[in-house]
Amino acid sequence: MTNHLQIKGLWYHYGDGSAEGWTLQSINMNLQRGELVGLLGPSGCGKTTLLRLIAGFEQPVRGTICIDDHEVASSRGMLPPERRSIGMVFQDYALFPHLDAWRNTCFGLRRGQDTSRAEWLLEMLGLADLRHRYPHQLSGGQRQRLALARALAPGPSLVLLDEPFSNLDVEVRLRLRSELAGVLQTCGASGLLVTHDPQEALAICDRVAVLRNGELHQCASPSDLVQKPATPFVGRFVLQGNLLPLNMGGEHWLTPIGPLSKPTEPNAAKATELMVDDQALQIQQDPRGEALIQGREFLGSHWLLRVELGNHTLRVRQPLERPVKTGERCFVAFRAGQKGLLFPGAIPCPLC
Ligand SMILES: Nc1ncnc2c1ncn2[C@@H]1O[C@H](COP(=O)(O)OP(=O)(O)OP(=O)(O)O)[C@@H](O)[C@H]1O
């Protein structure tokens, strides 16, 4: 595969940067032809800003953006959006209310351009019979598919999708997101998908880039992210892991949950934090317990508990057959046979 999009040393701030500082800092990433890459991070971390730079609505302060090895943006100059062969899909669809589905789909085509691709897209996306309807006469899922058809109709090689499923109900969202990769593949387009939902990114993307406060923490395949999160933030945000501080204590490390045997791995000596997932912890209800059950969620196959221990809030998985109540006290312990990850380095470490 070849690099389709390449972002090198990209820095950006709005205005003169004096108010908020950098919005994006030293971003390096690439997207290979045909790939679907997720851009994941909490609200305000810079995801939409990065899309706007790639699309050509903002200009980098430092660094370069290349498409197919051609520089399209740097501090020296930039190619206008319409010359970048990029399609965009926004979370609010941004359809034209006064145009019917067919004319919305064909909006980006040049006068006289072949419309067979637009026809094919409407057919493939199940909209062919709705071509004369206006956006207000379509359901949310149909509007979102129309937005995708409109973005793909001019034959862009790259599609930027900004939270395209966020306004849809669960069923439509799950169906559309599972169709997305196939639709892009059939159209020969690469995709960059902004989302703040880790499950969504891991479920459908070839690789996922994790941003925080304008910095790229990791860009890796879903399985690499899960097995080897580069930073504690990636572990906490993507894997919803519990992060615990480590203190030296002779032959053991001390954690707020209990002692941990020191691993033999040499790099482990530098560890300062331990990440454990919700399955690696267990509770024992006891009125004398130092922890407090603050909340519980029913997740079908188990409960997910929110447990306060000192100044830590832990996520603990609890079997359905052992129900607990909010407000009960408990002890927290590591579950036998489970592993955690030591940071820095994401070094696996047995818990008991
Ligand atoms: N036009 C603007 N002028 C000044 N600051 C802006 C502008 N647009 C966005 N910002 C700021 O830049 C930062 C990044 O915003 P951005 O919209 O890229 O975040 P995001 O990750 O897409 O967030 P969300 O998930 O909430 O959409 C935020 O602090 C935001 O307030």
**Per the domain annotation, does 233 fall within a domain?**
no
Instruction: Give the C-alpha separation, 326 to 293, whole Å.
Output: 5
Q: Which of 13, 14, 211 to mutate to test the pocket of ligand 1 (most atoms within 8 A of CB)?
A: 14
Q: Which of 23, 92, 200 to mutate to test the pocket of ligand 1 (most atoms within 8 A of CB)?
A: 23
Structure tokens at 44: 């305000």
Owner of token pair 């860009």: 219
Of ligand 1's atoms, which has the minimum distance to the CA of residue 194?
Answer: 22
**Same domain? 23 vs 119:** yes
**Same domain? 126 vs 77:** yes
**73 CA distance to ligand 1 middle (Å):** 20
Nearest CA to ligand 1 atom 20: 44
**Same domain? 61 vs 124:** yes
**Same domain? 248 vs 213:** no
**Same domain? 204 vs 304:** no
**Per the domain annotation, does 150 fall within a domain?**
yes
Q: Is 239 helix (H, G, I), strand (E, B) or coil?
A: helix
Nearest CA to ligand 1 atom 17: 48
CATH number, position 224: 3.40.50.300
The total of other beta-carbon atoms located within 10 Å of residue 146's CB is 26
**208 CA distance to ligand 1 middle (Å):** 20
DSSP state letter for 262: P
Angle at 163 between CA 162 and CA 167, to 5 degrees: 130
**48 CA distance to ligand 1 middle (Å):** 7
**Same domain? 86 vs 182:** yes
User: Quick check: CB of 44 below 6 Å from ligand 1?
Assistant: yes
**Same domain? 212 vs 253:** no
> What's at 212, amino acid-wise?
R
**Per the domain annotation, does 341 fall within a domain?**
yes
Nearest CA to ligand 1 atom 1: 14
Among candidate residues 30, 31, 50, the one with its CA nearest the CA of residue 40: 50
- Could you tell me the residue range of the domain that residue 148 belongs to? 3-228
pTM, whole model, 2 decimals? 0.88
**Per the domain annotation, does 317 fall within a domain?**
yes
Instruction: Give the C-alpha separation, 57 to 88, whole Å.
Output: 12
**147 CA distance to ligand 1 middle (Å):** 23
**13 CA distance to ligand 1 middle (Å):** 10
Decide the pairing of beta strands 24-32 and 3-12. antiparallel
**45 CA distance to ligand 1 middle (Å):** 7
User: Quick check: CB of 14 below 6 Å from ligand 1?
Assistant: yes
Instruction: Give the C-alpha separation, 334 to 198, whole Å.
Output: 25
Q: How many domains does the chain have?
A: 2
End of a domain among 228, 250, 275?
228
Of ligand 1's atoms, which has the minimum distance to the CA of residue 50?
Answer: 18
User: Quick check: CB of 148 below 6 Å from ligand 1?
Assistant: no
- Digit-by-digit pLDDT tens for the chain (352 residues) are 578 999 999 999 998 766 678 999 999 999 999 999 999 999 999 999 999 999 999 999 999 999 999 999 999 999 999 899 899 988 777 899 999 999 999 998 888 888 998 998 898 888 999 999 999 999 988 998 999 899 999 889 999 999 988 877 888 788 888 888 888 888 889 999 999 899 999 999 999 999 999 999 999 999 999 999 999 999 999 988 999 999 877 778 899 998 888 777 888 888 899 999 999 999 999 999 999 999 999 999 999 999 999 999 999 999 999 989 999 999 999 998 999 999 998 899 888 7
**Same domain? 210 vs 266:** no
User: Quick check: CB of 48 below 6 Å from ligand 1?
Assistant: yes
User: Quick check: CB of 41 below 6 Å from ligand 1?
Assistant: yes
Nearest CA to ligand 1 atom 6: 14
**Per the domain annotation, does 280 fall within a domain?**
yes
**Same domain? 181 vs 301:** no
What are φ and ψ of residue 246, in 5° steps?
-115, 140
Kindly give the interhelix angle for 140-152 and 116-124, rounded to the nearest 10 degrees.
150
**Same domain? 172 vs 258:** no
**Same domain? 279 vs 185:** no
CATH number, position 269: 2.40.50.140
Instruction: Give the C-alpha separation, 337 to 325, whole Å.
Output: 27
Query: Please, what is the end-to-end C-alpha distance for the chain in angstroms?
Result: 44
**Same domain? 249 vs 200:** no
What are φ and ψ of residue 162, in 5° steps?
-100, 100
Structure tokens at 11: 């820095």
User: Quick check: CB of 198 below 6 Å from ligand 1?
Assistant: no
**Per the domain annotation, does 126 fall within a domain?**
yes
**Per the domain annotation, does 20 fall within a domain?**
yes
Q: Say how far residue 13 (Cα) sits from the centre of its chain.
A: 22
Residue 328 CB burial class (10 angstroms; 0-12, 13-18, ≥19): middle
